[in-house]
Amino acid sequence: MSAISPTLALRDGREIPQVGLGVWKASQEQATMAVREALNAGYRHIDTAAIYKNEEGVGAGLRESGVPREDVFLTTKVWNRDQGFESTKDAARASLDRLGVDYVDLLLIHWPVPMVDRYVDTWKAMIELRDAGLARSIGVSNFTPATLDRLVDETGEAPVINQIEVHPYLQQETMRAVDAGHGALTEAWSPLGQSHVLGDPVIEAIAAKHGRTPAQVVIRWHVQLGNVVIPKSVTPARIVSNIQVFDFALDSDDLAAIGALDRGERFGPDPDTFGPPRP
Ligand SMILES: NC(=O)c1ccc[n+]([C@@H]2O[C@H](COP(=O)([O-])OP(=O)(O)OC[C@H]3O[C@@H](n4cnc5c(N)ncnc54)[C@H](OP(=O)(O)O)[C@@H]3O)[C@@H](O)[C@H]2O)c1
């Protein structure tokens, strides 16, 4: 059974499939299998990063699937140590080489790393990469209100997306509003809370009520909030079921119950302090 995700409009006029596949922690071989399975199951959006060290595997899965390159929305990210004007361009070209593609659909600054303070120069390089056609759209990840405001103030160019940690235990109402104020979509990473939220009794009860899996309930919650969402799995049956979320809806009671789970709990690092180079 396959399912096709609807798309959301990006501020630059392009479109992104709302549900995609994340591949953090997948090996090269797992990434190839997961990308191939996902594309065969109807996914048209894959999220990787240079630091995941599986871009070759992702590219192989894309080619093995037989799905035309132009039908797939492919994201990668510039890693922290590659920030800076020339180094960002070199890093992006190296990612394209590893992926075996001529362009990515979305290139993100992976973390702002504010204490190193190179994200504005990095963004200027990304604007050039976009204008040269190597990235169709450009965005950021893990940006905070302060770093996002400064990026826009100094360059006059807002990202199309801010990819941040969002799940029922960290709902990010403030940051989602700041993103929207810049015309940027919010993309949820660790959307399942790295699986920690799936055993929550509230999520389990809503899943039982709808005859769905807890993961489908959480992914559907992201969809109804308007988030782009990239659940990761290297398990074929989960890859298939995680995108079967367009044939049911959460009601206002469900949304209120999940809304009440917010407790500001991060499973990943804090963007204000993450990423300084090791001495
Ligand atoms: N920008 C950033 O800084 C950043 C940071 C973290 C993540 N990300 C991106 O976001 C993606 C998703 O985040 P994530 O990988 O941290 O966590 P996640 O998607 O919240 O959770 C992934 C975990 O949930 C399990 N899982 C998936 N579907 C399931 C299901 N239907 N039932 C039960 N368990 C299920 C997976 O197991 P199996 O794989 O074993 O099936 C895996 O252990 C990443 O892969 C990456 O692309 C970005």
pTM: 0.98
Domains of the chain: 15-194+225-233 (3.20.20.100)
Q: What is the mean pLDDT of the chain?
A: 97
**Can you give the pLDDT at residue 201?**
98
52 is annotated as an active-site residue = yes
Ligand 1: which residue has its CA nearest to atom 5? 189
Closest-CA residue, ligand 1 atom 15, reads: 232
Does residue 1 carry a pLDDT above 80?
no
Give the pLDDT confidence score for residue 26 in this predicted structure.
98
Q: Which atom of ligand 1 is nearest to the CA of 195?
A: 24
pLDDT tens digits, 219-264? 999 999 999 999 999 999 999 999 999 999 999 999 999 999 999 9
pLDDT tens for 27-65 read: 999 999 999 999 999 999 999 999 999 999 999 999 999
Q: DSSP assignment of the chain, as one string?
A: ------EEE-TTS-EEESB-EE-TT--HHHHHHHHHHHHHTT--EEE--GGGT-HHHHHHHHHHH---GGGSEEEEEE-GGG-SHHHHHHHHHHHHHHHT-S-EEEEEES---TTT--HHHHHHHHHHHHHTTSEEEEEEES--HHHHHHHHHHHS---SEEEEE-BTTB--HHHHHHHHHTTPEEEEESTTGGGGGGG-HHHHHHHHHHT--HHHHHHHHHHHHT-EE--B---HHHHHHHT--SS----HHHHHHHHTT-----SS--TTT--PPP-
Residue 185 has pLDDT above 90, yes or no: yes
Is the pLDDT at 72 greater than 90, yes or no? yes
**Most informative mutation of 190, 200, 203, 234 for ligand 1 (most atoms within 8 A of CB):** 190
User: 192 C-alpha vs ligand 1 centroid, how far in Å?
Assistant: 7
Per-residue confidence at 2, pLDDT binned at 50, 70, 90? confident
Q: Is 193 in the pocket of ligand 1 (CB under 6 A)?
A: yes
pLDDT in tens, 134-154: 999 999 999 999 999 999 999
Please pick, among 52, 103, 119, 169, the residue that the annotation labels catalytic.
Answer: 52
- Whether 278 has a pLDDT exceeding 70, the answer reads no
Residue 267 CA: nearest ligand 1 atom is 16
Pairing between β-strand 7-9 and β-strand 15-17 as defined by DSSP bridges: antiparallel
d(CA 224, CA 200): 19
State residue 276's pLDDT score: 77
Task: Verify whether ligand 1 is closer than 6 Å to residue 191 (CB atom).
Answer: yes
